[in-house]
Amino acid sequence: MAKKQQTWELRLYVAGKTPKSVTALQNLKKYCETHLKGQYKIEVIDLLVQPQLAEGDQIFAIPTLVRKVPQPMRKIIGDLSNEEKVLVGLNIRPVKAI
């Protein structure tokens, strides 16, 4: 992989522990473990607790995954159930042979 040293900063916006949010977090963790092992950080923001943060990242849908680093910022909305779409959306090169 080209950007070996870089740590991926991912932010997941949720609103309480809804089934969609839980699914999204589980899915995200699974993909990161598979494809970005050891070089990612996941921050979960619950907008019910910190509603003021929604404006900054232009959040309107829940759940929303935001890729802060590497730039440019990317957003994926939904429960992240489609692995391929998430990887394309985040621009992660999948680790093939599993």
Partner 1 sequence: MMNLLPKTKTGINGLDEITLGGIPKGRPTLVCGGPGCGKTLLSIEFLVNGATKFNEPGVFLAFEEKTEEITINVASLGFDLEKLQKEKKLRLDYVRIERSEIEETGEYDLDGLFIRLEHAIDSIGAKRVVLDTIETLFAGLTNLGILRSELRRLFLWLKEKGVTAIITGEQGDGKLTRHGLEEYVSDCVILLDHRVINQISTRRLRIVKYRGSVHGTNEYPFLIDEEGISVLPVTSLKLDRAVSSERISTGIPSLDEMFGGKGFYRGSSILLSGTAGTGKTSIASFFINEACNRKEKAVYFAFEESPKQIIRNMKSIGLNLEPHIKNGLLQFHSVRPALHGLEMHLSTIYKIIKEVKPTTVVLDPITNLISVGLVNEVNSMLLRLIDYLQGEGITVMMTALMKIMDERTDEGVSSLVDSWISIRDVETNGERNRALYVMKSRGMKHSNQVREFVITNRGLELVEIYLGPNGILIGSEREEQKLYKLKGQELKDQQNRKEMARRRQENAMPKQPKLKSGR
C-alpha 58/C-alpha 37 separation (Å) is 28
Footprint of partner 1 on 33-72 (CB under 8 A): 47-48, 51-52, 54-55, 58-64
Does position 26 bind partner 1 by CB under 8 A? Answer: no
Cβ nearer to partner 1, comparing 32 with 80: 80
Half-sphere exposure of 22 (CA within 13 A, CB side): 4
The residue among 40 and 78 lying less far from partner 1, judged by its C-beta, is 78
Whole-number Å distance between alpha carbons of 62 and 25? 12
Nearer to partner 1, 31 or 40 (CB): 31
